[in-house]
Structure 1
Amino acid sequence: MNTVDHLSQRLQELHARTRETPLFNPVFQLGLDLSRGLEGDGLDLDGLEVLVEELECASLNARTKRLRALIQPNETQSPVAASCEDGVEFESFQKRWERPSLHAVFTAHPTFLLTPEQTRAVANAASDGGTLVRAPDLSGANRPQITLEYEHAEAMAAIAHAQTARSAIVREVYEHAYGCWPKQWKTLRPLPFRFATWVGYDMDGRTDIAWYTSIRFRLSEKAQRLARYADELSAIDAGHALIKTLKGASAHASASAQDFAGDLSQPKALSDAANRLTADDPAKLTSLEPLIAQLEEEAEAQGKDAKAADLLTLAAAMRADGLGMAHIHFRVNAKQLHNAIRVHLHESPQLDLSSKGAVATLRGMLAKVTPKRTNFASLAIESSTATRQFLAMAQILEHIDADTPIRMLVAECEQPSTVLAALYLAKLFGIEGKVDVSPLFETEEALEHGGRFLDALCAEKSYQEYARGRGRVCIQTGFSDAGRFVGQIPASLAIERLQGRLAQAMGKNGLNDVAALIFNTHGESMGRGAHPSSFADRLTWPLSPWARSRFHRNAIALEPEVSFQGGDGYLPFANDTLARATLMRIIADTPEQSEVCDDPFYARTDLSLDFYRAIRTHQRRHLHSQTYSRAVTAFGLGLLNSTGSRVSRRQSDLSADRDMNLRQIRAIPHNSILQQLGYPVNVIAGIGSAADGNYEELAALLAESERGRQLMRLAQTSNALASIKTVAAYGELFNSAYWASRPYRGTEPHLSAACEVLAEYLTKDDRTGVFRRLASRVRVDALKFHRLLDQLPAEERLGFDQDTRRMIGAAQALRLALMQHIFLRAVSVPVFSRANDIAREDVLEMVFSLRIDDALAQLRRAFPVEFPSPSDFAMDAPSDYPDASSEGYGAISRDYIDPIERAYGLMLRLSVAIANQFGAHG
């Protein structure tokens, strides 16, 4: 078995045996076949690496194919010409192109799965229709360290491609407008997209971003955008006077960014940096409004030529982005805001912020607050994280970019008083006119009670006044914790109900004169809220036609916003070709708002509401189950590469690994682990059980309803990649009877000692039973799920790509073989004495929990290969000891420690291959 085709054929043969023996596990058996070859003479790690490379390349081609199918780069027709057909009024054309189709936010959660070389290869192949072939640079062996700076640079590169693509669309809008309305075209102010980012500004769950880090990023973004403006203007008119202005301002911002790049903990260093930034300087630019006005005046004077359109296109880019690469989103946690506001509750510092009294108190405070001047010293001495964020925003708006509003996202926001507290701090520092406070609804409790929250908030007069001043009401709905703790399908349905309640609350309280900006944060995978079937599904999954109709019915303008998350999310913007195709696809697939949604899913609430509640209940049982929790945390985070600068920490206490709580693992690693174990529980589970006893009627509703069909497309796409046998296979690694029986009858006598140690050690391990129970539970539910699928019309049943399934199965089996290799090598390491409270048993526990880096560190400390040599000393007296030919611990390192490290590296590369087949990391 030296090719992936051989593995696939063998897996197919083994799968046929399940008809004879239902409990037979073909994935585990293939893993055993490979393990026997590896531990015998048939295979070695070099041979397995060849197989890994082949699977890596196949997975990258699968990723390429999926990306190409999603955005269709060579098939996307421009929607601009269609919007300029005969009979279309200029006002209609103007309305269409002056309002963004979408706000796109480039976030940086840990999903930087691919190496830069892999990203470029996939992007180029998706752009030109090519196929990748195995090459050294496509190997994931040398992964870069994912730092905050790395994430920020990647975000800026993706945004730059998006900007170029948007300008090309704007230029096309002007061309068609000139052809249709030659007397009016210059009055157009196209704004088809807004871009934003929170990379470097998101403080929720982080303590590693200093306030001056955010200032530095904003200054570097300003310098980069100004340089791009200058280059674009040079391409239009190399002698234009504003080029010098733009380049000078870019240099000024770049120098200030360098000032804020160092350690500013000392007062003098901060004073010097701050004073240079705040001082009057001819090169300092804090507003683009005069430049935009000048460019538009010049375009008006140009007459009817291409240069006028070019100048207007550049002005449109300036109007969209301001003095930065994109708008920015700060983010804090509600608890951080509560701690910050208590300093200002002078008369009642112990006030319960969830009470009605808190709302009344904050209402009075808002009415009386007097804005205070601040400077960078205010930032330096402030200890409250939330207050510090508002102070940072104040300095950005005063000294870096006075035009561009800033979003303040508030995580875990469950009381109106939290929003009022944010408004108070904004008003205290004089920035309420440029800050959009946006509560996040993501937890089960927030989604359950969010309707009442929005009713109370929209009824609050101080909030109404603020919303009218800003021209919008902003909320954020998240699919990460919602998908983890509620399940993806019930989360999506709960979120759309919340969106409907927002429309109702705004209409009821007379807020029809402002827009509703709804930021739906999701990732790229089906476990994170991005629908994999098409861009049309991706756009309507988080903001459904039903939810859109609620706003249209209340005459409320809607501003949809979504995230493109980390490395996975940046892939559609990895080059100019993909970026343009992506934006065109979004424009083409964005649904029109309608007052009427006649989808029967919302009329037959006797069925759909029970369906939603039953799935949610089923998902909740998993969440509260010790079996599910133990299975998901069985390997800690050891199945995953580090894919971001913000990751969940492994537990340092060995005893804590066994009792690790699901809440100790963030949503993305949680979803990733489910993919790696073979079954996305939080996507599929519960649907079959919810249909139990009512298959025909529910199937008829789901088939008749577009929303229902969309729900089933998501579940079926996930199910097509899932394998319950794989879930069970991971449990068999810890089956003491398996290890005791493996060398039975003399099949592998050279493994007898190691297998005996494993068999004895694992008698007390609980993971075999855990994985068996989980597999049994999802199997029962899956039987019902397939019974429901059988009731759907044939055209609504998605087929299974058996090649893809076998490719995943081969990768899983190969990883099982590598894990067995690691286990066997670990128990074969000679016994060593306890050191620093770490014993051999502790190292074995690390290995079995895939804390391989920690285990290797302890083994290398116990068996060092580098130590002083007699030749290092200038001794006059002769010595014959130690013998220079003595190998010391070199043989232990070569035979046991190094193979463990190499096998684990191959395992992690297989994890990337499996994630690519699923389409994203987590």
Structure 2
Amino acid sequence: MMSVGDLLDRLQELHHRTAETPLFNPVFQLSLELSRKLEAGELTLDQCEALIGELECDALQSRAKRLQRMVDPVNVETNADRFAALLSQESGDLSAFRARWEEPQLHAVFTAHPTFLLPHDQASTVAEAASSDEAIDTDTCSIGAERPAVTLDYEHDEAMQAIANAGAARDTLVEAILRKAQQSWPDAWQQMQPLPFRFASWVGYDMDGRTDIAWYTSIAFRLAEKERRLGAYAVSLARIDPDHKVLKTLEAAQKRAGEQAAAFRADLSDPAALSAAANDLTAEHPDKLVSLTPVIDQLEAEARDSDKERAIALKTLTAAMRADGLGMGWIHFRVNAKQLHNAIRRRLDSDGGLNLSSMSAIATLRKALKEVTPLRTNFAALAIESSTAIRQFLAMAQILHHIDGDAPIRMLIAECEEPATILAALYFAKLFGIDEKVDVSPLFETESALEHGGRFLDALLAEDIYRDYARKRGRIAIQTGFSDAGRFVGQIPASLAIERLQGRLAEAMKQNGLTETSALIFNTHGESMGRGAHANSFEDRLAWPLSPWARRRFVRANIQLEPEVSFQGGDGYMYFATSDLALATLTRIAEARPAATDPDAPTDPFYRRTDISLDFYRAIRDHQHDHLESRTYSRAITAFGLGLLNSTGSRVSRRQSDLSADREMSLRQIRAIPHNSILQQLGYPVNVIAGIGSAADGNYEELAELLRDSARGQQLIRLVRSANALASIKTVAAHGELFNSAYWASRPYRGFESHLSEPCEALAEYLIKDDRTGVFRRLASRLRVDALKLHRLLELIPDEEPMEDREHVRRAIGVMHALRLALFQHMFIRAVSIPAFSRANDISRDDVLEMVFTLRIDDALAQLRRAYPISFPQIGDFALDEASDWPDRADEGYGAIRRDYIEPIDRAYGLSLRISTAIANEFGAHG
């Protein structure tokens, strides 16, 4: 049997042939060679699985090394020394030290984007390997045929564990801060209230794009978080003093929160059940704890009269309480602007004539905000409310009144493009009496929102009512999203557009007298370069979405900056999957100081030479926009539907549609993460790389000089190189050859593979009118022309940090693609070889074939199993007195069809998805 090493060597040989024949495709040729062996019986699916297992191990090891490199060093003692060294650099008085460490260096939000690619055990294996220098055990590499379902409960559990590890790491840093303060200012150190990091989550509270989360699910999650956090506080306090009198308070409140969480996890569709659960939660009770303020005051008073070690321990605990409140962290609710528009129209616009983009809408809302009288609410009002947006405000009110009255709640509004939308949110916050505890945050992510976001902020901050609200809250919060922005305009133009929007926020705050409020900027990028992360280093990862240039706008205006980023799903939680990784991650963030910058730093040439950089930005944006609007690009990305991808989250990515709709699937039907994932699986991160070369055309030397001399330009090029190191245009083209009628017609030509003549002829005839070969060839040609120009530009810019093992990784990815293409060919051949069956339930044989060609394999197999059942009555099942000679021999029925055709398709597809996972691991993240 051949090995992975043999395949890597063979691919290397095939690559040499491109010098002879430029159109030669090594990846597809290797797939043909593998396919021939597979169809001849020289290579079995069992042997394919063994090859895939070896590739999986290599990819997991690669991912572990990448994770380790991003946060290196990981060793706990080393990071303790690094953080101590960082603290020792602090000079000046206690007030300066407090200013540095009593404001969050970063807000970290643990979001549940569908990126749970790896099963829990495998993700843990990667994290453990990244936490040490040990290689991954081959026994833990294989995912196996069955992947556990990713449910909302699973996502929430994973988020809570990541936050727990992050909180423990923060405690370590807080203790070091307090110890440093005690040593330097022994008479005044207890004034310190360290808050170096704040954590939050929207898992279970994000209603944008989903309707499967009941309101009581959010309540149950918040109560479960309260139970878990109170338990952690109690454990910490018991370590200090196992007989401490506050322990009983914490433990009793924890027990009560657990009982209430269980009640809200039950079926509350019966009004009696809801009434019982709600009344228990809202009733006065000696164990009811809605604020930690009395506990914090009591523990800090005790710290003032304690010895040094006990005082440090107590103040470390109260710092955690002050940061997180009665939960694992703060929470973010999220709705769509349209949901909010529907709600406000129902409340203020009974005639239906209110245009929320008009000045009259602003005037209406301004008047309503001045006149609104807060209303009391209860759980019955929440239960009967039909509006998603209003329901979220009612849920927030109940959480603040009866679960945690200390921690404010963020209300994120997706697709928010009108200032009136924010005023509508403020109206409901005031209507339900929670405006002093809710931070309303618009999300700027679409092309239109980024283009008009500056004017949006100018108009919003000019409103007296909004300014009063911001001053009361002490902050202005905005959210900038990189996933959809990167999909619509490309990741590099998106980052530059978001950067300008952040600068406009600083200007608008200064012009409107809001410099005493802080600016909280939530950048919702993910872990992959396709979602706005930077693959080069953790410092780049932090500076890419909130650049030094943008930070200087706030520092120079004397505005406190509160940077916030998301750690998304199974990829982002990996940074906090072990205590070692969590501490390393927080230490790298503290060293990078994402909230600070040098206000006197000289202007980066990238921002000074706008005659070049602005044209560069516009050219890339236009190139990316052309791809997005191109029928060629859209058809290529949707050629396989979503069949290249594993299910990676609780939110369904595929919308139900008929076959013709699938054939004409729009890019806008695919969410950002699946879109990016498909680009990975096709072999070329278009939304990162494409357009850079074309934008440089005709101005290579001058642009290269600018990028070489600019820190931002160098960062941009580092991102492009990281993506380009994993990219292969030949691989993109290879996918189109699957649908090449001439290929299938020629494959058994001149007696080769004569046993495949019939299925190859059937495939050739079926695919004569298929457009996908031409589509992929046109896309590859366009990418190639742009790439030639990109390489010309990169040759003028030194590569200071070349990727380690670049060629090995590229070859490994190429082998994976070739093996998967061979499996697809196996599936195609088996599919057309299945005997014809009668049309049933409006599904024909051709429909099933089309399902296979678009990788809707589960649907196709369901139809085939229905057409060829193997479970039906046997004569021996009946106890009859009369004898029968018929049937006169054993009847195999459809068992042979299942064995020879249906089951091989099923198994080959399962193996192909394992390859998809391995490819994503080589990229370091899903999507």
TM-score by length of 1: 0.99
Amino acid at match of 2:590: I
Map 1:559-598 to 2 at 5 A: 559-591=562-594, 592-597=596-601, 598=603
Counterpart pick for 1:520 among 505, 515, 523: 523
Alignment equivalent of 2:357, drawn from 332, 354, 357:
354
Q: How does 1:87-102 map to 2 (within 5 A)?
A: 87-102=91-106
For 2:84 and 2:214, how far apart are their aligned partners in 1?
Answer: 44
Q: Which residue of 2 aligns with 1:452?
A: 455
Deviation of 1:139 after TM superposition, in Å, equals 2.6
Residues 159 and 325, structure 1, Cα contact 8 Å, conserved in 2: yes
**Among 143, 148, 152, which residue is 1:144 paired with?**
148
Matched, 1:202 2:181: no
In structure 2, C-alpha distance between the alignment counterparts of 1:814 and 1:86, rounded to whole Å: 56
Q: Residue 180 of structure 2 corresponds to which residue in structure 1? A: 176
Alignment of 1:49-88 (within 5 A): 49-72=49-72, 73-74=74-75, 76=79, 77-85=81-89, 87-88=91-92
What is the rounded CA distance, in whole Å, between the counterparts of 2:140 and 2:554 in structure 1? Answer: 53
Name the counterpart of 1:46: 46
Which of 543, 546, 551 does residue 549 from structure 2 map onto? Answer: 546
Q: Alignment partner for residue 133 of structure 1, among 133, 137, 141?
A: 137
- 1:350-429 maps to which residues of 2 (within 5 A)? 350-429=353-432
Q: Match for residue 498 of structure 1? A: 501
Q: Is 1:117 aligned to residue 121 of structure 2? A: yes
2:769 maps to 1:764: yes
Q: Distance in 2 between matches of 1:346 and 1:627?
A: 44
CA contact (8 A) 1:408 1:437 kept: yes
Conservation of the 8 A alpha-carbon contact between 2:87 and 2:177: no
Other structure's SS at 2:906 match? helix
Preserved CA contact (<8 Å) 2:28 2:734 = yes
Is the alpha carbon distance of 1:67 and 1:815 closer, same or farther for their aligned partners in structure 2, counting shifts above 3 Å?
Answer: same
Cα offset, 1:187, TM superposition: 1.6
Counting only pairs closer than 5 Å after superposition, residues 12-51 of structure 1 correspond to structure 2 as: 12-51=12-51
2:511 to 508, 513, 522: 508
CA contact (8 A) 2:114 2:673 kept: yes
Tell me if structure 2 keeps the 8 A contact 1:638–1:849. yes
Partner residue of 1:687?
692
* 1:41 Cα deviation from its structure 2 partner: 2.7
CA distance in structure 2 between the aligned counterparts of 1:188 and 1:299, rounded to whole angstroms: 12
Match of 2:291 among 284, 287, 305: 287
Identity %: 68
Aligned to 1:717: 722
Give the equivalent residue in structure 2 for 1:468.
471
Find out whether 1:655 has 2:660 as its counterpart. Answer: yes
Residue pair 2:831, 2:849 contacting (<8 A) in 1 also: yes
Deviations 1:281-308 (A, max 9, x none): 111110000001111111111132x121
- Deviation of 1:884 (Å): 7.2
Paired residue secondary structure (1:512): coil
How far the C-alpha of 1:575 sits from its partner, in A, is: 1.0
In 1, Cα distance between equivalents of 2:757 and 2:352: 68
> Within 2, Cα distance between the matches of 1:522 and 1:300?
42
User: Structure 1 residue 347: deviation in Å?
Assistant: 6.9
Match of 1:240 among 238, 241, 244: 244
- Within 5 A, what are the aligned runs for 1:879-898? 879-882=884-887, 885-898=890-903
Q: Residues 561-600 of structure 1, C-alpha deviation per residue, up to 9 Å, x if partnerless?
A: 0000000000010011110111011101225323245110
Question: Quick one: distance in 1 between partners of 2:798 and 2:839?
Answer: 65
Rate the CA distance shift 1:236–1:753 in 2: closer, same or farther, 3 A. Answer: same
CA distance in 1, matches of 2:326, 2:800: 50
| 1:833 equivalent in structure 2 | 838
Residues 731-740 or 185-194, more deviating: 185-194
Distance 1:650 1:420, change over 3 A: closer
The amino acid across from 2:557 in the alignment is N
SS in 2 for 1:436: strand
Count how many residue pairs are aligned between Structure 1 and Structure 2: 921
Instruction: Give distance in 2, aligned partners of 1:39 and 1:641.
Output: 26
C-alpha distance in 2 between matches for 1:18 and 1:601: 38
SS in 1 for 2:347: coil
* Deviation at residue 175 of structure 1 after TM alignment: 1.7
Contact 1:373 1:429 in 2 (8 A): yes
What amino acid does structure 2 have at the position aligned with 1:711? L
Q: Is the Cα contact below 8 Å between 1:485 and 1:619 reproduced in 2?
A: yes
> Residue by residue, what CA displacement relative to the aligned partner does 1:61-101 show, whole Å, maximum 9, x if unpaired?
00001000000113545334432358532222211111111
Alignment-mate amino acid for residue 184 of structure 2:
C
Q: Contact between 1:720 and 1:799, CA under 8 Å: does it hold in 2?
A: no
1:11 and 2:11 are equivalent in the alignment = yes
Q: Distance in 1 between matches of 2:123 and 2:185?
A: 43
Shift of 1:174: 1.5
Q: Distance in 1 between matches of 2:799 and 2:782?
A: 27
Spell out, residue by residue over 1:470-500, the C-alpha distance to the aligned partner (whole angstroms, 9 max, x if none). 0000000000110000000000000000000
Classify 1:797/1:225 alpha carbon distance in 2 versus 1 (closer, same or farther; 3 Å). Answer: closer
2:814 to 809, 818, 830: 809
Q: In the aligned structure 2, how far is the partner of 1:234 from the partner of 1:12?
A: 62
Q: Which stretches in structure 1 are left out of the alignment for 5+ residues?
A: none
Residue 634 of structure 1: which of 625, 636, 639 is its match?
639
Q: Mind listing any 5+ residue stretches in structure 2 that lack a counterpart?
A: none
Look up the SS of the partner of 1:763 in the other structure: coil
Letter in 1 for 2:240: I
Please tell me whether the aligned partners of residues 86 and 591 of structure 2 are also in contact (alpha carbons under 8 angstroms): no
Write the letter of the residue equivalent to 1:331. Answer: R
1:273-312 aligned within 5 A? 273-304=277-308, 306-312=309-315
Change (3 A) 1:239 1:16: same
| Rounded Cα–Cα distance in structure 1 between residues aligned with 2:564 and 2:805 | 33
Deviation at 1:799, TM superposition (A): 7.6
Quote the Cα distance in structure 1 between the aligned partners of 2:889 and 2:524.
62
Using the TM superposition, name which of 790-799 and 345-354 deviates more. 790-799
Give yes or no for the alignment of 1:164 onto 2:168.
Answer: yes
User: Is the contact between residue 115 and residue 140 of structure 1 (CA under 8 Å) also seen in structure 2?
Assistant: no
Q: 2:270 is matched with which residue?
A: 266
CA offset at residue 44 of structure 1?
Answer: 0.3
Q: Does 1:227 align with 2:231?
A: yes
Distance 1:557 1:348 in 2: 44
Question: Is the 2:11–2:26 contact (alpha carbons within 8 Å) kept by the matching residues of 1?
Answer: yes
Q: Would the alpha carbon gap of residues 175 and 39 (structure 1) be closer, same or farther in structure 2, given more than 3 Å must change?
A: same
Counterparts in 2 of 1:867 and 1:19: CA distance versus 1, 3 Å:
same
Q: Residue type matched to 2:123 in 1? A: T
Report the alpha carbon displacement of residue 651 of structure 1 after superposing the two structures with TM: 4.3
Amino acid at match of 1:320: A
Q: Which amino acid aligns with 1:367?
A: K
Do the aligned residues in 1 keep the contact of 2:53 with 2:141 (CA within 8 Å)?
no
Q: 1:60 is aligned with what amino acid?
A: L
Checking the alignment, whether the CA contact within 8 Å between 2:60 and 2:141 is kept in structure 1 is no
In structure 2, the CA distance between the partners of 1:347 and 1:878, relative to structure 1 (3 Å rule), is: closer
Deviations 1:322-361 (A, max 9, x none): 0001100000000000000012215764210100111111
CA distance in 1, matches of 2:471, 2:876: 80
Deviations 1:231-264 (A, max 9, x none): 1111111111111111111111111111111221
Q: Cα 1:450–1:32, aligned 2, differ >3 Å: closer, same or farther?
A: same
Distance 2:326 2:207 in 1: 23
What whole-Å deviation, never above 9, does each CA across 1:154-207 have from its counterpart, x for those lacking one?
101111110111111111112222222211222211101000000000000001
Instruction: Note the aligned Cα RMSD (angstroms).
Output: 1.3
2:436 corresponds to = 433
8 Å CA contact 1:83, 1:93 repeated in 2? no
Q: Which residue of 1 aligns with 2:743?
A: 738
Query: Is the 2:152–2:650 Cα contact (8 Å) retained in structure 1?
Result: yes
